Amino acid sequence: MQTLQTRLAEIAERVNTALDALLPKPQGPESELMQAMRYSALGGGKRLRPFFTIEAGRMFDADEGALLRVACAIECVHTYSLIHDDLPCMDDDELRRGRPTLHLAFDEATALLAGDALLTFAFELMSEPETHRDPQMRCLLTTGLARAAGASGMVAGQAADMAGGEIDSDLIAVTRMNRLKTGALINFSVEAGAMIGCASEAERTALSRYAHDVGLAFQMRDDILDAEGVVRDTGKAVGKDKDRGKVNFVTVMGADATRERVTMLAAQAKQHLALFGPRARILLTAVDFVVERRY
Ligand code: GRG
């Protein structure tokens, strides 16, 4: 676990430094917008999606510069989703990553625009020549990110989540919602590393299955933390889903059954990595982190 914590910290540090250099600097009449983008994008977070991109790519000796820029683009999309998710018209949350949510630290309109700008910036970053020498690769990565983030991915999952009690509250519906809301971007994070590393079809399939299981286990752990976690650890409000009558894995099947599924998914995720042997050591230990995390 110690090695994993060191790797996570190393990647978080690199992502923070890169984003600080890449994000627009506050200046001119719109400087508040840039400050707001920076408040959220540089305000902590585990940087788990960048970790997946970079560590998946490292298994194939992929170019570190390309991995870092793509990881930053994915993190910008993730940050935008958190900003918008926290808005009064969605979850109306007050705390994120241990600090006031963006619309409280600034104002609602600025938060909305900062989210929009981070989402757009992600695609600018992804498509710039500095990201990868091969334009076709840049195009494939850009399309992949758009699909994971948009109406057939994360936004669709959010729409299903917002529909709340109106959607079926059975396990299949909850699984589908989470596969879209959280899983799609985690899947793409792993896939992007494999793409940049020119992994074979069989390797990409194995990694995609790994990402699927890790993504679901991640969300189940999130639901357990929402039910049983403490604000001091999570840095965000807990007990929200139950209070708001929202469906999640714990409300549908209970905490113990959710824990059992997490254990099963974790074992399954590890099996998918067998193909890679010792090269997959870090991705293997990441499974334990995801399912044991307290934040
Ligand atoms: C398109 C508006 C919009 C929203 C997308 C992802 C999402 C839907 C909303 C986020 C809400 C949420 C709390 C989902 C549960 C799982 C999740 C994505 C948790 C946050 O991710 P972490 O734990 O966060 O990786 P950090 O702060 O570490 O980056």
Taking CA atoms, 244 is separated from 56, 87, 162, 179, 208, in Å, by 37, 15, 11, 21, 33
Candidate of 11, 85, 103, 224 to mutate for ligand 1, largest count of ligand atoms within 8 Å of Cβ: 85
Residue 247 has pLDDT above 90, yes or no: no
Atom of ligand 1 nearest to the CA of 149: 1
pLDDT for residue 275: 95
Candidate of 182, 219, 234, 262 to mutate for ligand 1, largest count of ligand atoms within 8 Å of Cβ: 182
96 forms beta bridges with 99
pLDDT for residue 170: 87
Give the pLDDT band (50/70/90) at residue 41.
very high
Residue 85 has pLDDT above 60, yes or no: yes
Give the pLDDT band (50/70/90) at residue 281.
very high
Average pLDDT of the residues of the chain = 94
What CATH number has the domain bearing residue 160? 1.10.600.10
CB 27 within 8 A of CB 34: yes
Q: pLDDT tens digits for 156-196? A: 999 998 887 656 678 999 999 999 999 999 999 999 999 99
pLDDT for residue 244: 78
Measured CA to CA, the distance from residue 80 to residue 128 in angstroms comes to 20
Residue 80 has pLDDT above 80, yes or no: yes
Measured CA to CA, the distance from residue 73 to residue 119 in angstroms comes to 8
| First-last CA distance in the chain | 15
- Token look-up 């995390």 returns 293
Strand ranges (E), the chain: 95-96, 99-100
With H, G, I as helix, E, B as strand and everything else as coil, classify residue 245. Answer: coil
Tally of domains within the chain: 1
pLDDT for residue 294: 86
Domain extent, residue 56, equals 4-292
With H, G, I as helix, E, B as strand and everything else as coil, classify residue 244. Answer: coil
Q: pLDDT tens digits for 161-172? A: 888 765 667 899
